[in-house]
């Protein structure tokens, strides 16, 4: 009688440890299935947040491109020299903006985010891109670029050139002109320009939100 | 309060036992019951919901993909919406809109503050058009009727060849439509047009809507050149052809434009100018600006300059009408008169205006005395304005013009603009078309937009007239009643998907720019007209650009208004018309305006205040929107006055058989206080047999009783009770606040003598808080005022809130159970005798009490106060006890009894505002003061290192309000508009005795009655 009870106890113990063992085994395993999520808690809602997918459209993207030719509120209008860098005569224009410290600070800020990876901090083309891949990008300090009209640099940022893609989507026209101004300063000094104050300080002076440009 | 008694329904006034029993429960019967007698709609929704639950049973998080832009468009930052100005065509006028776009998807329609027809406000139809864009039942493909030889072949082919969306149909008459494409149609049209061109267009007819568009007018001329002998008819069941026929002709259109802001005495005859007629948004704005009870204050509104000088005067509105319209509900003096008697009144008025001592004519007694008083007031007014509604015949409008001339209103409060780009037609034109169709004169009929099988007068029998025509082309947004009898059905693009232009009644020209590429390869009327007039090649964009030329194109798109230039021949400058040059009464042929039979009851057809003429019937927001007067949702009803109801021994919900000229219709009865004795009112736009899942089978089809002789008002109606009963889903008795002075009002003279009448009742209160007040230390303290004097009760705020805050619709059955989800309701109170009551509207959102009773009872702190005074909901914490709703004295909390949103088709998800949580089942929700807008403005201000400016944040309801009744802002700053309004002596809070300290307060309503008004002898 007693023996029978012990057997049963051992069996249960074995079963439990077996379960524990296999659970431990599963813990370390990877699974291609998404994690267990018991309480839905409105984590997924029937709406489209940015960059979500939609089965409705043939390309699966819920983000749509605006119809060509439409103009949103807040877009700079009736100033083609400012938005394209090309004047009425078809030639490139000089920078249409008044360059001051806030513009340069904004230009430096944008330059360091979007341009430094390829063109380097000083604009000499010595960059992370070259270090890692050996691909040489343009030296912004070379004579050809120094003599280039402002509008042409603006045009390259807008449409891209060679391997470089367009930077129109993250940089508003005002930001692009600020970058042009900053590049001009790099060219003039041939080294890191000495701005008054640290970038952090100057940044707060002129926030210039992107969507307003 | 001034001894006035307010009541919400006849049953309440008479204290019927049923309603007493109902009111003894705080929540209406059924509000906590499981669903019974599921209608089709709710059943499908529940099925969808339960299927979604089954999907969740796997307990795994669904996989989500990140899909970025491949070529990111310039200027779009994901997560930051952009605004585009465009235009919504609206009959012979146009509404300027600004549309919010999230990553290229339009999600919200607002008014365009630069466009004079909207001035930043938005009607409920403008708001709801966004849902129509994402309507899952929209027509998706070009459809073609099988030729006879193909038809026998098709019978052997499997079913999937036929149109997928079509259910198998038992209608044998209906020919089979198969899926086709635009190339096939273009090939067909090339062949057809070549043949027609040789005949000079003989045998070709076009049926269009009314329109007002420079590019349409240009293409129309080109079409005329190509097909000189073709027939063009414009038809719009809700059009203003009676008014336009009195002023001009379809070839030379002259439109009236009313300056309500300047008017100080207004008489509206059967005219709902505040909601359903003309430029209603601008009219409501002008009317409310001209209704300022504060003494000596100048008009504070910046938009006044576009209308004219502001006035600190308080206007007076007289309304003479049969069924209760929203305008009538806002009148200072309202006369309930049958519509068919209004021509006689206008005649009498014309005589009195010319000669005040003219002797009595047909009218006698009390009514004549009142007309004399009105005429006297109009004659003594500096800026009088008389207008009649579109159901009144042409000769009435000719007389109205004359009256306005005699009163000197032309040029002062009424402007007449010639509109070279508009086109309208009358019912007679439509009947000429059907005659030609019956004679076999028409071989090709192109229907560009309208749905004549549904909307044409019943005696024209458009459907059978179509049978003789070998080629019918139908362009429409849905596969509707007309589409299934056509040879070609073409999907119509929504205005948010197409290029075009439009001219408003005041002469403002604006461009329609698309917000998104057509979702279902649809094309606009202009697109199709270009194809028909020129053949394939040019797009609508090219034509519109050609119309306006190079100059200021970008600015016109950006602003949403084409700047007016003075140069001759410019398409944008309106031409004012001299009143003397008008044809006046001479144009009106007597036979064109047959006198309505005085026998029997009168039936009055009106445009529905929610689904309009039926074109919005498949829009769930509008179907669920309570009618402003009857508060019925999801249905129309035969509206009767209490005395007519007594005569016929009819109660609310009795099914009536309406018989008119051999046609009959069964409709539920509804008693409306204030309705004229002997008038039966019936709204158009319901009873669709085809046109979408939501539209079909809702209400009764009033068009089936309309005849071409009397399309708007008809006599000789016979009404019998069938014995059946029907209970429409009605929100009138929902969320009541029993017997307390909730609406406060006074007359202008009372207010001048005793300004504090509204707030004084609160002063004696010495209430103490029951619990510790939360600390409100935030930089801003948000608050709201709602001016009952300005509110016209139009419901635009409800739809705005629904659109902004992702509020679901629940279906008729759930509304019957009082489960409607609207965060904002508009209460409607009657006061006075049931035959001639006065009306008060009161929008009630969450009050955002500082000592909120709801917060005290929530066991999980799901509703808490923030430090800026907002009573916030934390949806994720909510476990659905509904204690908060029980403890809310204002009854503004809404509970998700079901997962109303889980069964959304993918396309409806596109319409959701990404900035607002879509709530799930078991969660309480309520007005948040549009907290997403507050946070957006606060973020932007902190980015720019400044404080939020007054007026920078507009709640959705405030922004849409045509009457500017709602003010929102920081109450801790005494300079803000909301603080100024809270300082008014008219300011009061609801249920102040409870010491809830609501942040939302009301300004009392002021009426401006004529002291010389003869009191009713009955009273």
Looking at residue A204, what DSSP letter applies?
H
Among chain B residues, the shortest Cα distance to A39 is held by B59
| Higher-confidence position of B183 and B295 | B183
CA B68 to chain A, closest CA, distance in angstroms equals 5
Closest CA to B704 of B660, B671, B741, B670: B660
**Reduced to 3 DSSP states, what percent helix, strand and coil does chain A have, rounded to the nearest 5?**
45, 5, 50
What's the gap between Cα B36 and its chain centre? Answer: 32
A207–chain B Cβ distance below 8 A for any pair: yes
Q: Cβ of B909 and A51 within 8 Å?
A: no
d(CA B486, CA B492): 15
CA B262 to chain A, closest CA, distance in angstroms equals 32
Asked if residues A67 and B515 have their Cβ atoms less than 8 Å apart, the reply is yes
Q: What is the mean pLDDT of residues B311-327?
A: 86
**Low-confidence winner among A39-43, B959-963, B975-979 (lowest mean pLDDT):** A39-43
CA A7 to chain B, closest CA, distance in angstroms equals 38
d(CA B244, CA B578): 16
Among chain B residues, the shortest Cα distance to A75 is held by B558
CA A168 to chain B, closest CA, distance in angstroms equals 5
Residue B759: partners with Cβ closer than 8 Å, 6 or more residues away: B985, B986, B987, B988
| Whole-number pLDDT of residue B498 | 93
What rounded mean pLDDT belongs to chain A? 80
Tokens matching residue B8: 């919400």
Going from the C-alpha of B77 to that of each of A110, B153, B277, B786, B953, the distances in angstroms are 15, 54, 40, 36, 21
B49 contacts in A (CB within 8 Å)?
none
A70–chain B Cβ distance below 8 A for any pair: yes
CB-nearest to B64 from A52, A170, A209 is A52
Cα three-residue angle B57-B60-B64, rounded to 5 degrees: 125
> In the predicted model, is pLDDT for residue B351 greater than 80?
yes
| Higher-confidence position of B196 and B774 | B196
> In the predicted model, is pLDDT for residue B150 greater than 70?
no
A80–chain B Cβ distance below 8 A for any pair: no
| Whole-number pLDDT of residue B3 | 53
Per-residue pLDDT tens digits for B575-606: 555 545 554 444 445 445 567 777 788 999 99
What rounded mean pLDDT belongs to chain B? 83
Determine the 3-state secondary structure of B699 from DSSP: coil
Q: What is the mean pLDDT of residues B188-204?
A: 89
Q: Cβ of A73 and B78 within 8 Å?
A: no
- Count of pairs with CB atoms under 8 A, one residue in A, one in B: 174
DSSP β-bridge partners for residue B841: B828
A67–chain B Cβ distance below 8 A for any pair: yes
Q: Cβ of A73 and B98 within 8 Å?
A: yes
A200–chain B Cβ distance below 8 A for any pair: no
A54 contacts in B (CB within 8 Å)?
906, 909-910
Sign of the CA dihedral B777, B781, B782, B787? positive
d(CA B964, CA B281): 11
Residue of B497, B522, B909, B922 for testing the chain A interface, max A β-carbons within 10 Å = B909
Going from the C-alpha of B170 to that of each of B166, B167, B488, the distances in angstroms are 12, 9, 21
A60 contacts in B (CB within 8 Å)?
65, 67
Tokens matching residue B742: 């909730």
Q: Which of B147-156, B171-180, B649-658 has the highest mean predicted lDDT (pLDDT)?
A: B649-658
Q: Cβ of A65 and B910 within 8 Å?
A: no
If you search the block for the tokens 């076999």, which residue do you land on? B440
Q: Cβ of A54 and B918 within 8 Å?
A: no
B74 contacts in A (CB within 8 Å)?
168-169
Q: How many CB atoms lie within 10 A of CB B922?
A: 15
Residue of A36, A71, A172 for testing the chain B interface, max B β-carbons within 10 Å = A71
What's the gap between Cα B448 and its chain centre? Answer: 23
Look at strands B601-606 and B82-90 and give their pairing: unpaired
Among chain A residues, the shortest Cα distance to B104 is held by A64
Q: Cβ of B76 and A47 within 8 Å?
A: no
CA B879 to chain A, closest CA, distance in angstroms equals 11
Going from the C-alpha of B11 to that of each of A177, B70, B350, B482, B586, the distances in angstroms are 71, 63, 40, 42, 50
Confidence of residue B1 (pLDDT cuts 50, 70, 90): very low
| Whole-number pLDDT of residue B768 | 72
State chain B's maximal CA–CA distance in angstroms. 89
CB-nearest to A37 from B60, B75, B515 is B60
Confidence of residue A117 (pLDDT cuts 50, 70, 90): very high
A160 contacts in B (CB within 8 Å)?
none
Percent residues over pLDDT 90 in chain B: 33
d(CA B386, CA B267): 5
Looking at residue B689, what DSSP letter applies?
S
Q: What is the mean pLDDT of residues B349-370?
A: 80
Going from the C-alpha of A65 to that of each of A73, B68, B69, B103, B521, the distances in angstroms are 16, 11, 8, 7, 16
Asked if residues B99 and B84 have their Cβ atoms less than 8 Å apart, the reply is yes
Per-residue pLDDT tens digits for A42-90: 888 888 999 999 888 888 899 999 998 899 998 888 888 888 888 888 8
Tokens matching residue B190: 């090339």
B862 contacts in A (CB within 8 Å)?
none
Confidence of residue B297 (pLDDT cuts 50, 70, 90): very low
User: Which H or E element spans position B14?
Assistant: helix B10-14
Asked if residues B478 and B113 have their Cβ atoms less than 8 Å apart, the reply is no
Q: How many CB atoms lie within 10 A of CB B565?
A: 12
DSSP β-bridge partners for residue B87: B96
d(CA B388, CA B246): 12
d(CA B640, CA B165): 40
Confidence of residue B411 (pLDDT cuts 50, 70, 90): confident
Look at strands B444-448 and B204-208 and give their pairing: parallel
> In the predicted model, is pLDDT for residue B613 greater than 80?
yes
CB-nearest to B944 from A34, A50, A207 is A207
B516 contacts in A (CB within 8 Å)?
64, 66-67
B558 contacts in A (CB within 8 Å)?
71-73, 75, 77
**Low-confidence winner among B18-32, B290-304, B314-328 (lowest mean pLDDT):** B18-32
d(CA A37, CA A24): 20
d(CA A146, CA B234): 65
Angle at which helix A150-159 crosses helix A173-189, to 10 degrees, equals 130
Q: Cβ of B901 and A51 within 8 Å?
A: no
| Higher-confidence position of B784 and B156 | B784
| Whole-number pLDDT of residue B25 | 53
| Whole-number pLDDT of residue B253 | 86
Q: Cβ of B516 and A67 within 8 Å?
A: yes
Residue B8: partners with Cβ closer than 8 Å, 6 or more residues away: B732, B733, B736, B827, B828, B829, B830
d(CA B989, CA B1000): 7
CA B465 to chain A, closest CA, distance in angstroms equals 39
Looking at residue B458, what DSSP letter applies?
G
A172–chain B Cβ distance below 8 A for any pair: yes
CB-nearest to B901 from A46, A48, A66 is A46
Q: Cβ of B944 and A67 within 8 Å?
A: no
Asked if residues B278 and B91 have their Cβ atoms less than 8 Å apart, the reply is no
> In the predicted model, is pLDDT for residue B32 greater than 50?
no
| Whole-number pLDDT of residue B708 | 86
> In the predicted model, is pLDDT for residue A192 greater than 70?
no
Residue of B103, B112, B512 for testing the chain A interface, max A β-carbons within 10 Å = B103
CB-nearest to A207 from B69, B902, B943 is B943
3-state secondary structure B173-212: CCCCEEEECHHHHHHHHHHHHHHHHHCCCCCEEEEECCEE
Confidence of residue B357 (pLDDT cuts 50, 70, 90): confident
Among chain A residues, the shortest Cα distance to B914 is held by A49
A168–chain B Cβ distance below 8 A for any pair: yes
A55 contacts in B (CB within 8 Å)?
906
| Whole-number pLDDT of residue B154 | 54
Q: Phi first, then psi: what are they for B782, rounded to 5°?
A: -85, 145
| Whole-number pLDDT of residue B412 | 85
Q: Cβ of A172 and B68 within 8 Å?
A: no
Looking at residue B627, what DSSP letter applies?
P
d(CA B503, CA B522): 23
Closest CA to B216 of B564, B547, B477: B547
d(CA B827, CA B7): 11
CA B121 to chain A, closest CA, distance in angstroms equals 17
**Low-confidence winner among A30-34, A159-163, B496-500, B599-603 (lowest mean pLDDT):** A30-34
Confidence of residue A111 (pLDDT cuts 50, 70, 90): very high
Q: What is the mean pLDDT of residues B177-197?
A: 89
DSSP β-bridge partners for residue B970: B782
Per-residue pLDDT tens digits for B705-752: 998 888 888 888 889 988 888 888 887 765 555 566 687 888 888 888
Per-residue pLDDT tens digits for B902-949: 777 888 889 899 999 999 888 999 999 999 999 999 999 998 899 999
Q: Cβ of A37 and B906 within 8 Å?
A: no
Work out the burial of residue B314: count CB atoms within 10 Å of its CB; fewer than 13 is exposed, 13-18 middle, 19 or more buried. buried
| Higher-confidence position of B210 and B46 | B210
What's the gap between Cα B579 and its chain centre? Answer: 32
Residue of A41, A43, A48, A174 for testing the chain B interface, max B β-carbons within 10 Å = A48
Determine the 3-state secondary structure of B168 from DSSP: coil
CA B190 to chain A, closest CA, distance in angstroms equals 28
| Whole-number pLDDT of residue B161 | 43
Q: Cβ of A62 and B918 within 8 Å?
A: no
d(CA B666, CA B688): 15
Q: How many CB atoms lie within 10 A of CB B228?
A: 10
Confidence of residue A123 (pLDDT cuts 50, 70, 90): confident
**Low-confidence winner among A139-148, B246-255, B778-787 (lowest mean pLDDT):** B246-255
Residue of B558, B860, B896 for testing the chain A interface, max A β-carbons within 10 Å = B558
Q: Cβ of A63 and B901 within 8 Å?
A: no
Among chain A residues, the shortest Cα distance to B512 is held by A70
d(CA B391, CA B610): 18
State chain A's maximal CA–CA distance in angstroms. 108
Helices (H) and strands (E) in chain A, counts: 9, 0
Angle at which helix B540-548 crosses helix B525-534, to 10 degrees, equals 90
Work out the burial of residue B597: count CB atoms within 10 Å of its CB; fewer than 13 is exposed, 13-18 middle, 19 or more buried. middle
| Higher-confidence position of B6 and B97 | B97
Per-residue pLDDT tens digits for B431-443: 999 999 988 888 8
| Whole-number pLDDT of residue B8 | 66
3-state secondary structure B31-92: CCCCCCCCCHHHHHHHHHHHHHHHHHCCCECCCCCCCCCCCCCCCCCCCCCEEEEEEEEECC
């Amino acid at each position: 009688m007693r023996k029978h009870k012990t057997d049963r106890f051992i069996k249960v113990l074995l079963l439990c440890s077996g379960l524990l063992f296999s659970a431990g085994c599963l813990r370390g395993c990877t699974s291609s299935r998404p994690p267990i999520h018991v309480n839905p808690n409105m984590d997924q809602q029937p709406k489209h947040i940015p960059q979500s997918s939609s089965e409705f459209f043939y390309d699966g993207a819920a983000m749509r491109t605006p119809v060509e030719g439409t103009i949103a509120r807040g877009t700079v209008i009736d100033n083609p020299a400012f938005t394209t860098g090309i004047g009425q005569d078809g030639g490139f224009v000089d920078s249409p903006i008044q360059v001051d410290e806030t513009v340069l600070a904004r230009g430096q800020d944008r330059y360091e985010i979007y341009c430094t990876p390829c063109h380097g901090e000083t604009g000499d083309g010595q960059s992370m891109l070259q270090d890692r891949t050996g691909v040489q990008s343009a030296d912004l300090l070379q004579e050809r670029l120094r003599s280039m009209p402002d509008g042409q640099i603006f045009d390259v940022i807008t449409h891209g050139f060679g391997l470089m893609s367009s930077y129109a989507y993250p940089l508003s026209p005002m930001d692009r002109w600020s970058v042009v101004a900053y590049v001009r300063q790099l060219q003039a000094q041939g080294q890191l320009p000495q701005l008054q104050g640290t970038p952090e300080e100057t940044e707060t002076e002129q926030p210039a939100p992107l969507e307003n440009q | 309060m001034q001894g006035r008694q307010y009541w919400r329904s006849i049953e309440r006034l008479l204290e019927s036992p049923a309603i007493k029993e109902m009111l003894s429960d705080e929540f209406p019967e059924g509000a906590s019951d499981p669903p019974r007698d599921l209608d089709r709609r709710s059943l499908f929704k529940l099925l969808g919901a339960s299927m979604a639950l089954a999907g969740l049973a796997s307990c795994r998080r669904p996989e989500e993909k990140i899909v970025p832009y491949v070529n990111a468009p310039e200027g779009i930052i994901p997560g930051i919406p952009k605004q585009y100005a465009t235009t919504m065509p609206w009959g012979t006028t146009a509404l300027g809109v600004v549309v919010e776009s999230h990553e290229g998807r339009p999600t919200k329609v607002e008014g365009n503050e630069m466009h004079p027809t909207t001035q930043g406000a938005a009607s409920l139809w403008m708001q709801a058009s966004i849902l129509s864009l994402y309507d899952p039942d929209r027509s998706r493909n070009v459809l073609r009727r099988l030729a006879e030889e193909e038809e026998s072949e098709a019978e052997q082919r499997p079913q999937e060849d036929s149109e997928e969306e079509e259910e198998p149909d038992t209608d044998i008459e209906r020919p089979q439509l198969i899926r086709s494409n635009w190339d096939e149609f273009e090939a067909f049209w090339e062949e057809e047009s070549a043949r027609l061109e040789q005949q000079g267009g003989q045998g070709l007819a076009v049926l269009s809507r009314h329109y007002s568009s420079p590019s349409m007018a240009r293409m129309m001329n080109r079409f005329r050149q190509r097909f000189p002998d073709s027939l063009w008819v414009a038809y719009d069941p809700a059009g203003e052809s009676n008014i336009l026929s009195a002023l001009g002709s379809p070839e030379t259109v002259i439109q009236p434009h009313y300056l309500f802001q300047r008017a100080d005495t207004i008489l509206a005859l059967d005219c709902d100018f505040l909601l359903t007629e003309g430029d209603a948004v601008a009219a409501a704005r002008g009317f409310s600006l001209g209704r300022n009870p504060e003494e000596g204050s100048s008009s504070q509104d910046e938009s006044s300059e576009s209308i004219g000088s502001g006035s600190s005067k308080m206007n007076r509105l007289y309304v003479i009408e049969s069924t209760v319209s929203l305008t009538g509900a806002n009148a200072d003096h309202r006369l309930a008169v049958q519509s068919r008697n209004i021509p006689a009144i206008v005649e009498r008025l014309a005589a009195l205006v010319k000669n005040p001592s003219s002797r009595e004519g047909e009218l006698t007694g009390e009514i004549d005395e009142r007309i004399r008083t009105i005429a006297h007031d109009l004659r003594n007014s500096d800026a009088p304005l008389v207008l009649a509604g579109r159901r009144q015949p042409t000769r009435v409008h000719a007389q109205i013009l004359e009256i306005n001339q005699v009163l000197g209103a032309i040029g002062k409060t009424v402007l007449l603009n010639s509109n070279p780009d508009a086109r309208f037609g009358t019912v007679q034109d439509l009947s000429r078309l059907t005659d030609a169709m019956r004679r076999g004169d028409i071989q090709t009929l192109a229907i560009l937009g309208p749905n004549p099988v549904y909307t044409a007068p019943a005696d024209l029998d458009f459907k059978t007239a179509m049978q003789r025509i070998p080629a019918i082309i139908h362009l429409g947004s849905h596969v509707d009643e007309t589409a299934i009898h056509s040879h070609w059905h073409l999907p119509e693009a929504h205005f948010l998907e197409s290029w075009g232009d439009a001219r408003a009644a005041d002469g403002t020209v604006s461009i329609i720019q698309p917000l998104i590429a057509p979702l279902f390869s649809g094309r606009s009327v202009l697109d199709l007209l270009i194809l028909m007039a020129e053949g394939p090649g040019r797009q609508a964009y090219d034509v519109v650009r050609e119309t306006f030329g190079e100059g200021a194109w970008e600015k016109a798109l950006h602003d949403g208004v084409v700047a007016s230039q003075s140069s001759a021949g410019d398409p944008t400058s309106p031409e004012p018309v001299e009143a003397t040059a008008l044809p006046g009464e001479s144009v009106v042929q007597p036979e064109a305006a047959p006198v309505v039979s005085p026998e029997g009851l009168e039936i009055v057809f009106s445009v529905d205040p929610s689904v309009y003429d039926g074109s919005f019937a498949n829009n769930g927001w509008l179907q669920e929107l309570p009618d402003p007067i009857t508060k019925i949702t999801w249905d129309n009803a035969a509206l009767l006055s209490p005395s007519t109801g007594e005569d016929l021994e009819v109660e609310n919900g009795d099914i009536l058989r309406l018989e008119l000229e051999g046609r009959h219709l069964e409709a539920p009865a509804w008693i409306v206080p204030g309705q004229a004795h002997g008038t039966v009112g019936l709204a158009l736009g319901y009873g669709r047999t085809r046109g979408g899942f939501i539209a079909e089978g809702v209400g009764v089809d009033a068009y089936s009783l309309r005849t071409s002789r009397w399309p708007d008002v008809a006599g000789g109606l016979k009404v019998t009770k069938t014995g059946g009963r029907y209970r429409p889903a009605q929100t009138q008795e929902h969320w009541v606040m029993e017997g307390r002075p909730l609406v406060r009002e006074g007359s202008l003279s009372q207010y001048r003598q005793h300004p504090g009448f509204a707030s004084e009742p609160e002063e004696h209160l010495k209430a103490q808080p029951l619990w510790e007040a939360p600390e409100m230390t935030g930089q801003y303290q948000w608050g709201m005022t709602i001016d009952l004097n300005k509110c016209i009760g139009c419901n635009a705020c409800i739809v705005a809130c629904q659109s902004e805050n992702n509020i679901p619709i629940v279906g008729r059955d759930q509304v019957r159970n009082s489960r409607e989800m609207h965060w904002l309701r508009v209460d409607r109170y009657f006061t006075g005798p049931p035959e001639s009551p006065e009306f008060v509207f009161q929008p009630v959102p969450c009050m955002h009490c500082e000592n909120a009773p709801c917060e005290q009872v929530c066991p999980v702190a799901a509703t808490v106060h923030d430090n800026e005074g907002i009573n916030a909901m934390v949806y994720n914490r909510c476990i659905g006890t509904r204690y908060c709703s029980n403890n809310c004295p204002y009854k503004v909390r809404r509970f998700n009894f079901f997962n109303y949103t889980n069964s959304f088709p993918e396309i409806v998800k596109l319409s959701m505002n990404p900035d607002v949580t879509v709530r799930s089942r078991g969660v309480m929700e309520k007005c948040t003061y549009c907290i997403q807008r507050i946070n957006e403005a606060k973020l932007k201000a902190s980015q720019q290192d400044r404080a939020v400016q007054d007026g920078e944040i507009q709640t959705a309801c405030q922004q849409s309000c045509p009457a500017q009744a709602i003010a929102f802002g920081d109450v801790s700053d005494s300079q803000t508009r909301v603080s100024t309004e809270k300082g008014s002596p008219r300011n009061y809070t609801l249920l102040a005795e409870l010491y809830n300290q609501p942040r939302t307060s009301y300004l009392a309503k002021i009426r401006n009655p004529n002291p010389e008004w003869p009191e009713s002898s009955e009273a």
